[in-house]
Structure 1
Amino acid sequence: MKRWKRLAPSHADPWRGWLTYRGSLTWRIVSRAEGFRVERIQQRLRHPNEDEYRALGRPTHKRALVREVILHAGGRPVVLAHSIAARRDLFGVWRSLRGLGTRPLAEALFTDPLVRREPLEFVRIDFRHPLWKRACKVLGRELPSLWARRSLFRKRGRPLMVTEVFLPEILELGA
């Protein structure tokens, strides 16, 4: 499995503008397309993916809340968003996650002055990565390799990992 890196793709890469944007991805999509909506795919306690344990600083046997949604713009899926919070934090600093439903996570992250975002990491994923497999399954079609980014958000020192997998249709919204 490829390693996540802090180095973004080159300036010539059409994905760079989306990958390196530090603000709310939801708000950026809304500003570029009509018909934005969040489709919740799952939200349940389960074990994080193998490459997520180290970044979260968690032992491999611990379950966490995993929330997956598809962000749609103009009736088309543009991002698979995958977020993880420790089980104990669902009754503490990240309790707002439990009742999000189809509301964007951005509301909880970018409006709270106590939330701090750590640096972005990037990777190109393909058939070897569980999130690529998940995107193919959810969309019901085979996909090319996909760019993904992730970062940790911290509130009172407690981490929430957000990974965003960019689907090919996002490029139709411009960079």
Structure 2
Amino acid sequence: MPAANPCTLRPHWLNQPEVDSYPTTLDWLFDQGSLTQRLSALAHGDFSIEPLAQGWQPLRDDECSALDVPPGSVGWVREVYLCGHRQHWVFARSVVTKAALDNSDFSLEQLGSRSLGEVLFQDPAFARRPIQACHYPVEWLPPGLTRADLWVRRSRFDRGELAVLVAEVFLPDLWRATHP
């Protein structure tokens, strides 16, 4: 059987009332505050961003749908690890369409090891849409991660015509850190 095309996989995104999980998991998935701030507090300040990859590429079909653009639209994709105590706690993927970036003063490509969440939560012009969650497809994980039961949340942040879609996959080391 041929492998599934990662761009056309269709995860089933759920809203908060539809997610059946443990209270701690729900609390992390649907927390409305800054994940960066929450992780930094959990790490007692020993928090860092580890950039993995960034660049222009065709967006996944579910990303295009969430951003209200045609399938196959090109966007800037940024993938990073959010780390506490030098452990990978969260894998994050952020996307913005090329058209949206071309028509804004937003500079996703210049973030480096700076947290995107920090930027989004410091700018009151960004409005966050509802958070959705699902189990993240294994095919979308970075090399070395092969677990099929990892929870991810995503939300869209809008500022005028600019829409930024942020997906955050909660990794096992985070759950161990929350239950020492």
TM-score range, shorter chain: 0.7 to 0.9
Alignment gaps of 5+ in structure 1: none
Corresponding position of 2:47: 36
1:79 correspondence with 2:83 = no
CA distance in structure 2 between the partners assigned to 1:54 and 1:81 by the alignment: 19
Deviations 1:63-118 (A, max 9, x none): 10000001110111010100010113324435231210110002210000100000
Pairwise mapping of residues 50-89 of structure 1 onto structure 2 (< 5 A)? 50-89=61-100
Pairwise mapping of residues 1-175 of structure 1 onto structure 2 (< 5 A)? 1-7=10-16, 9-10=19-20, 12-34=22-44, 35-93=46-104, 95-127=106-138, 130-131=139-140, 134-135=141-142, 137=143, 140-174=144-178
Q: Does structure 2 retain, via aligned residues, the 8 Å contact 1:90–1:98?
A: no
CA RMSD of aligned residues (A): 1.9
The one-letter code of the counterpart of 2:66 is A
CA distance in structure 1 between the partners assigned to 2:125 and 2:39 by the alignment: 24
CA distance in structure 2 between the partners assigned to 1:173 and 1:80 by the alignment: 15
Q: Does structure 2 retain, via aligned residues, the 8 Å contact 1:90–1:96?
A: yes
* Shift in alpha-carbon separation, 1:145–1:18, aligned structure 2, 3 A: same
The size of the alignment, in residue pairs, is 168
Instruction: Give the TM-score normalised by structure 2.
Output: 0.85
CA distance in structure 2 between the partners assigned to 1:94 and 1:150 by the alignment: 23
